[in-house]
Structure formats: structure tokens, C-alpha cells
Amino acid sequence: MARILITSALPYINGIKHLGNLVGSQLPADLYARYCRARGHEVMFICATDEHGTPAELAAAKTGQPVAEYCAEMHGVQAELARGFGLSFDHFGRSSSRRNHALTQHFAARLAAAGLIEEVAEKQVYSHADGRFLPDRYIEGTCPNCGHDRARGDQCEECTKQLDPTDLINPRSAISGSTDLEVRETKHLFLRQSTLRDTLDRWIDSQRGWPVLTTSIAKKWLHDGDGLQDRGITRDLDWGVPVQYDGAPWQGMDGKVFYVWFDAPIEYIAATAEWADAHGLDDSAWQRWWREDMGAEDVRYVQFMGKDNVPFHTLSFPATLIGSDEPWKLVDYIKSFNYLNYDGGQFSTSLGRGVFMDQALSILPADYWRWWLLSHAPENNDSEFTWENFQASVNKDLADVLGNLVSRVTKFCRSKFSELVPEGGTLGPREDQLLADLTTRLRAYEQHMEAMDVRKSASELRALWVLGNEYLQEAAPWSAFKTDPEQAAAQIRLALNLIRFYAVISQPFIPDAAARTMAAMQSDDWSWPDDVATALNTLPAGHAFTVPEVLFAKITDDQRTAWEAQFSGQR
RNA sequence: GGGCCUGUAGCUCAAUUGGUUAGAGCAGAGCGCUCAUAACGCUUUGGUUGGGGGUUCGAGUCCCUCCGGGCCUACCA
């Protein structure tokens, strides 16, 4: 039994996430967490909402709520949706928690003590009308290069030229439209991560088997141009972790907060502390996951994230942990994902294009989404959601191959025998062959799951389901029943056990259907089938079961067409 | 501009890292079965691996070049 720490990239607080966000981090992390638990490992699966930053403040302002209230509400919404999708977090925390405030300030102090914090005076654009400093992208104006009149302060989207806000002609606030802007000097803290470049480089080199996507992004940032740049880790905002606090090793930072990308990863640790608090445990309970001097030396730590998050997890966060000069647990494996597109374009929150988590659950059960998203996870490339593909995959895989198998076996048994596992008969070479095939494929499935090869795991699982249909076709208990009912009884007894077996191994992908199946088999034996023959003897003759409701209703053409229209944009 | 990823059957993807005749699922065609959600099984059609050139006994895989798609480029998170 191993101890496995799993974190999913934190979903940002400003709204409901779409399916692309879900499949890029939380969902595959959940798959892995469920699998590890099923194998008997001790798992700590952590996620949280990322609540700080300008977008959160603006989103709150839009609703007219105080930002703290807005975040609390949205956290509740996201937590509910996570439950709806069956995301089995041990704790779903908040980066605005007291724990994160304390830890973020702790790390900042440690980094300062190690000489890794530098005060830098910068010039930034201040908007009088908005009463705030504006991040570059929140300043709009005319591009000096191509004349596009909606160029942003960081880059012109029309000609892709990178800009400085002061380059813009007729700059204005993207928030209010105000042109009453002023360049002001403001003091910020920088993390001197450039001094850790070689350390980080060696650390990344020492990792084996990380996805190319992960290492290539990290290497780019380490070696591109002048190499790894120092980063500002504070901002002129109200909502966040205060930079000036009791015991802070600097002065004059009042009214500033730490930048989200400094405090968000620290929330992985803080959320584990929140978990301990929520369970009435003391600090040692979370420290044994995070401190190598307090029991975390045998922990394997795996992170899941979309590719946009890679630089922060390969460089900034490790720099924070290493720079603290305390024995914090570093990540062992970073599983990163490409993007999921929607029907020929990108998901768009602003245009309401694509399917969002709340909408998804309102039209179909979570398992449908989980199965499609995971079996099409964008591991090697960006992938694409189309309704046609969704309908075809879900109907074939879930309804026909798995759902119908459960249906045909249980109904056959009910009509020819009873709602009890039938007794009598013996198993023969055909059954031995099935056990051998199941074992081979199950071992392959386990290997893919352990390697976090999501798509391959899905296709192997599906192949395991297919073995059941192949066996039934060959054994043909409906024929055997006419001449040798005992033979049919033995076959169906095996098939009923196979259904429970499928519930166990499918649970990481489709937990709801697995639970319903297990309930129908009137069992609660979720133990992993280390030995297939033993697993297929779990339900003895005479054991009662029920015929479950249709496990997966098919998606009709009418539904597909309607949804296609409904989600095409303009939410 | 620079960097990275990518292009394989109508569609979605594999191919043990250079090794026999490029494989699966879906869709299509044919046959079988009748327990089942018109479900299942078997067989089968379908490929100049984006184009061109090169290295090699051997290239989907390595190199060059051209074409297409995507991402990143540090103040969105």
C-alpha cells in the first residue's frame, strides 16, 4: 500500500467551468484518485477554488456583491457541481482560507530570509475612474503596429504583436472605458527564481517519464532568451493575502496582496490543512502529506493540470518550496493535458459557446460526460467535442456494450430461473478461456491506469466489457437452457458475477452506474479483483439480485439536434 | 518573429521508441443469433502514414524542405 497525494489545478472562481476545464484537470485527477483508492492505497485528493485576482474582483463587481460574498457563493456553486460530477475530493478548499493566508505569508517570510525576495519599484497604469491599477490586458487602445482599435495592453490580438500598455494609442480602461489613466510608480515584491534556475533545471532533468508537454514547456521557460525571469508576486489589489502582516520582513506594502500565482499553489498545502481542520485533526495529520521531515518521505505526489498551468507548477511553485529551505514535498509526476475544443472552435465563456458544467448535468447524468470526456481526453493533442461523436460513443459504449450486457443477463436469469443466482452445473474450457482473457486485459488496464494513460485505460476497460458479450454469444445460455439447464445455470452464475466484477473495475470512470449495478447485485464487495477467478465466485448460488433500471438510456437524434442548437453560442 | 506539439482508413485514435504484410473502435457491407436498451457475435470493404527529397539492409518513426492545424511566448488565470 502506497500513499498518494493528488492535486487538481484549482478552478478559478469567476464562474462555472466548461467541459474543457473539467477534462483538463479535475476529472482525470478524480479517475486516478478513485483508481488508487480502489487498489487499496491511501489517497489524499485535494482541490480548491482559486479566488484571488482582478477577474474575481470584477466578476463580483458585476453582480454588485462584495467580493468575499461573491466568492463564497461561487465556491458553493462549484462545490455542488463537483459533487454532481462525482469528483471525490478529500477536501475542496478555498484559496481565500485562513490557512492559505497563514501559509502564503509563511512562505514569503521564508523566501525573504533566504534572500530570494527583492523589492522592485515598477511603473503601472492606474485608472482613476476604476480606482485601481490595471493589469496590462485590461487596458485597451489602438495598436501602434496595425491600427486595430481594440488592442490589449499585453498584445494586439489582430496582428499578434506584443505590446507594452504605454505603446497603445488612446489607451482606455477595458473595465470602464475611462481614458483618465495615469502611469504611477508602485513597489512590488519579486521572487528571485532566476537564482534557482540551475536547481530547477537539474530537478526537471532528474524526473523520468514526464509528459513531453510538461517538460518542453518547463525547458522553454528555463532557457528561452535570458532564461528564467524573476516574477512579481504581489499586486495592488484589496482582495487576497495581505503582503503587509505581523512579522513581515518588509515595510510599506500596505494595501497590496500576493499575486494569485504565488498563493494558489500554496493552497494545495493549505487545503490539506483545511481538511485536517474540518475533521478535527491536528497539524500532524496534514503535515504527514507535505513535510518530508514529518512523515511525507514515502508520499508519491501527482499533479493534474491543463497545459496553461505548467509553468507555475514546474517552476514557480517548486521555486517557492525549494527556496523556503524547508523539507516540503515536491511533485513527483505532472500530468498535463491539451485543450478540448467545441465543435470546430474553442469553448468560450464569454460567448456561452460550448457546454458548461451546470448545463451538462441538467441534460444528462454525470457518467455520460465522464465516460466521453475521459475516453477522449486531450492527452497528445487538442481534441474536439462534437455532439455526433458524443452521441455515437456514449450510445455504443455505455448503452449497447455495457448497459445492454447487464440487462440481457439479469433479465434472462429472471425469466428462466429467478432473481437468485442459479445453482448447479460446472464450468468448462470456454469459461477458463474467458478468465484468462479477462486476466490479461485487466492487467493491461491496471498498467494503463497506473501510468495515467487515460484514453488507453478507457479503451481497455471497454474491451473488458466486450469480452462479456463475446462469452455470452459463444456460450449461448438461451440455447443451453433448452437441453441442459444446469449448464445454462453455471453460465449465468458466471455472467452475474461478471456484472459485479464490471462494477468494481468501471467505478473510477462511471461511479454512479457502478454503484447502481452493485446495488442491483445486492453486494457491497468492492474489493479489487487481484485474482479474476476468485472475483467471479463472489456471488454464490442462491444470492438474491434485482434487475436494474436501464443503466444508460440512449441519446436520441432529436435530443442531439436540439442540444446542438442550444449550445452553439449566446448562452 | 521565436519555441513546442501535431498531420496515419469517411470519423476518433494506436503502432512495444528504426524492424516482417501500418492496427483498434465507430460508421459502411455481408452473415449469424434471438437472452437483451433494434441490442450482441462473426466476417469484411476501406491507407502512396499531408507533399517532395534524403539517411539506412530497413522509415509512420530519424534529417531537410514545403503545405496545413494547434498551443505557448512570462501582467488572464
- Nearest protein residue to the C1' atom of B3, measured from CA: A220
Q: Which of A435, A417, A410, A411 is nearest to A487 (CA)?
A: A417
Nucleotide nearest to A310 (CA to C1'): B72
Nucleotide nearest to A473 (CA to C1'): B41
Tell me the mean pLDDT in the region A100-128: 93
A36 is in an annotated binding site: no
Note the pLDDT of residue A141: 82
CA of A381 to C1' of B47 (A): 22
Number of separate helices (H) and strands (E) present in chain A: 22, 17
- Nearest protein residue to the C1' atom of B38, measured from CA: A400
Q: How far apart are CA A302 and CA A299, in angstroms?
A: 10
C-alpha distances in angstroms, A508 versus A105, A183, A383? 37, 53, 22
Q: How far apart are CA A557 and CA A546, in angstroms?
A: 31
Residue A182, class by beta-carbon neighbours within 10 Å (0-12 exposed, 13-18 middle, 19+ buried)? exposed
A214 is in an annotated binding site: no
Confidence of residue A162 (pLDDT cuts 50, 70, 90): low
Note the pLDDT of residue A571: 43
Tell me the mean pLDDT in the region A426-439: 93
Per-domain residue ranges of chain A: 3-113+196-229+259-337, 117-191, 387-544
Q: Which residues, 6+ apart, have CB-to-CB distance to A349 below 8 Å?
A: A15, A18, A356
Q: How far apart are CA A99 and CA A76, in angstroms?
A: 18
% of residues, chain A, pLDDT over 70:
98
CATH superfamily of A3-113+196-229+259-337: HUPs (3.40.50.620)
Tell me the mean pLDDT in the region A425-448: 93
Note the pLDDT of residue A214: 82
CA of A461 to C1' of B66 (A): 42
Nucleotide nearest to A406 (CA to C1'): B36
Residue A428 has pLDDT above 50, yes or no: yes
Residue A147 has pLDDT above 90, yes or no: no
Residue A569 has pLDDT above 70, yes or no: no
- ipTM value, please give it: 0.91
Q: How far apart are CA A308 and CA A50, in angstroms?
A: 15
pLDDT, one tens digit per residue, over A278-320 is 999 999 999 999 999 999 999 999 999 888 888 889 999 999 9
Q: Which of A359, A265, A356 is nearest to A305 (CA)?
A: A265
Q: Determine the 3-state secondary structure of A432 from DSSP.
A: helix
Q: State the amino acid at position A291 in one-letter form.
A: R
Note the pLDDT of residue A508: 97
CA of A405 to C1' of B9 (A): 29
A7 is in an annotated binding site: no
Q: Does the A117-191 domain belong in CATH 3.40.50.620?
A: no
CA of A91 to C1' of B21 (A): 54
Nucleotide nearest to A393 (CA to C1'): B26
Confidence of residue A24 (pLDDT cuts 50, 70, 90): confident
CA of A422 to C1' of B6 (A): 54
CA of A441 to C1' of B21 (A): 26
Q: What is the mean pLDDT of chain A?
A: 91
- Nearest protein residue to the C1' atom of B40, measured from CA: A469
CA of A61 to C1' of B69 (A): 39
Q: How far apart are CA A336 and CA A200, in angstroms?
A: 18
Nucleotide nearest to A550 (CA to C1'): B37
pLDDT, one tens digit per residue, over A73-101 is 999 999 999 999 999 999 999 999 999 99
- Nearest protein residue to the C1' atom of B1, measured from CA: A161
A146 is in an annotated binding site: yes
pLDDT, one tens digit per residue, over A220-238 is 888 877 788 888 899 998 8
Q: CATH number of the domain at A387-544, please?
A: 1.10.730.10
Note the pLDDT of residue A531: 96
Confidence of residue A417 (pLDDT cuts 50, 70, 90): very high
Give chain B positions with protein CB within 7 A. 1-7, 11-14, 24-27, 32-37, 39-42, 69-77
Nucleotide nearest to A122 (CA to C1'): B75
CA of A463 to C1' of B14 (A): 14
Note the pLDDT of residue A208: 74
Q: Which of A396, A359, A475, A378 is nearest to A428 (CA)?
A: A475
More confident residue, A456 or A42: A42
Q: Determine the 3-state secondary structure of A3 from DSSP.
A: strand
A156 is in an annotated binding site: yes
Note the pLDDT of residue A123: 85
Nucleotide nearest to A341 (CA to C1'): B70
